[in-house]
Amino acid sequence: MASTPELRQYLIVTANYWAFTLTDGALRMLVVLHFYQLGYSPLQIAMLFIFYEFFGVVTNLVGGWLGARIGLNRTMNIGLVLQVIALSMLALPSTAMLTVPWVMAAQAVSGIAKDLNKMSAKSAIKTLVTGDQHHTLYRWVALLTGSKNTLKGVGFFLGAMLLSWWGFSGATGAMACVLLLVWLISLMLLRQDLGKASSKPKFQDIFSKSEAINLLSAARLFLFGARDVWFVVALPVYLASQLSWSHQQVGGFLALWIIGYGIVQAFAPKLTGQVERPAQAAFLWAVLLAACLLVLVLLMSSALPVGYVLVGGLTLFGVLFAINSSLHSFLIVRYANADGASMDVGFYYMANAMGRLLGTVLSGWVYQQWGLIPCLWVALVFVLLAAVISLSLPKGEELSAVKHYKNG
């Protein structure tokens, strides 16, 4: 394990990540529910998040290189202040001032901020656990990822409650003030050279990845596309319009789903045991996730009560998806080059953002055209693609031989 000062630095990064995550989850729920209330269609709501997801792709690709050059402390602080700006942009006194281009621009700033924070926090783990302590690394990655998603679920619930209490502008303004304080504290406490590479990487090195990282990134793209194709727009709109749930009920269910998902992520190492054969493990858990989706789709088409089937099926999906996600998050940190890990982690989460972007667009379009069940069919196809790609990941004995190479 790292020395006490390094551990303190990592905990500061994690605390920043947690604070940011609360505002990110709350803002997501605020935008979906507020603009649905204003009469926006599912596809129009999905379009509000296009720049959020697109700039997440760009940020992860460039942010890893930036973190290796200037340090993860600076990329973390840049992310925090950008989120303050995004929230302030949305805290306008009149709904009429919240035009679609303005909201999309604010979401773009928020997308950049979110992925700078995620990349910084995930990359910092590499400075905490060194050598061949792979199971320790798995536990620390799972704990960080799980706690983050638990807080994101709390943020969903917070967003729905703040919308009811203070309205859209009041909620975003209050969150901007709190996060501004977190940013000021972070400026004083974070070490100046955290995560900085020993040599200055060139910009073209952002594409210099190992085959293992390329494969894992492709699997991650389809895995997260499979979640967001039903989760981002289709599910909350379906619950509100078809099942007549209130804002608090929608926000509460999604919050509990994310919280439970995060708890399972944190305990994933206990559920999977030590992962000696990651390719087989990633394939097995992806197949189980696909089976869950197939059963859910079939039951949704039966005469059983839709509400109970949906809640039960998505609860099981959340458990299996959490384990898949934790396995992937562990593997990227394990595969990453120790010197300038943010380069590899950034590239990987660029693929993650591409999956979210694809899932977000499809969530609005497929739901508007055909409904929720076709969204689940698309998710099933995506999970099967992730499973097939996982079979090509390095086998147990090949892990120590994972090498980085220059593309081109």
Q: Which of 122-136, 208-222, 320-334, 373-387 has the highest mean pLDDT?
A: 373-387
CATH architecture of 4-401: Up-down Bundle (1.20)
Which pLDDT score is estimated for 397? 45
Mean pLDDT computed over 256-272 = 84
Question: So what's the pLDDT on residue 2?
Answer: 46
Q: Ranked by mean pLDDT, which of 62-66, 80-84, 143-147, 278-282 comes out on top?
A: 80-84
Q: Show the CA angle centred on residue 175, arms to residues 24 and 96, nearest 5°.
A: 90
Side chain identity, residue 373: I
Query: Would the pLDDT of 7 be above 90?
Result: no
Question: In whole angstroms, what is the distance from residue 327 CA to residue 223 CA?
Answer: 12
**Residue labelled with tokens 């079979």:** 391
Give 50-60 pLDDT, tens digit per residue: 888 788 788 87
Domain boundaries, the chain: 4-401
Identify the pLDDT of residue 320. 95
pLDDT in tens, 320-365: 999 999 888 888 877 776 555 667 777 888 888 889 889 988 988 9
Per-residue confidence band for 406, with pLDDT thresholds at 50, 70 and 90: very low
- Give the integer Cα–Cα distance in Å for 116 and 122: 10
Place of tokens 């303005």: 102
Give the per-residue pLDDT at 183.
92
Question: What pLDDT, on a 0 to 100 scale, did the predictor assign at position 4?
Answer: 61
Residue 160 reports pLDDT greater than 70: yes
String of b and e for 165-180 (b: at least 16 CB within 10 Å)?
Answer: eeebbebbbbbbeebb
Please, which residues have CB within 8 angstroms of residue 150's CB and are 6 or more apart in sequence? 258, 259, 261, 262, 263, 266
Q: What's the rounded Cα separation, in Å, for the pair 266 and 262?
A: 6
pLDDT at 73 over 90: no
Q: Per-residue confidence at 1, pLDDT binned at 50, 70, 90? A: very low
CA-to-CA distance for 6 and 194, rounded, in angstroms?
9
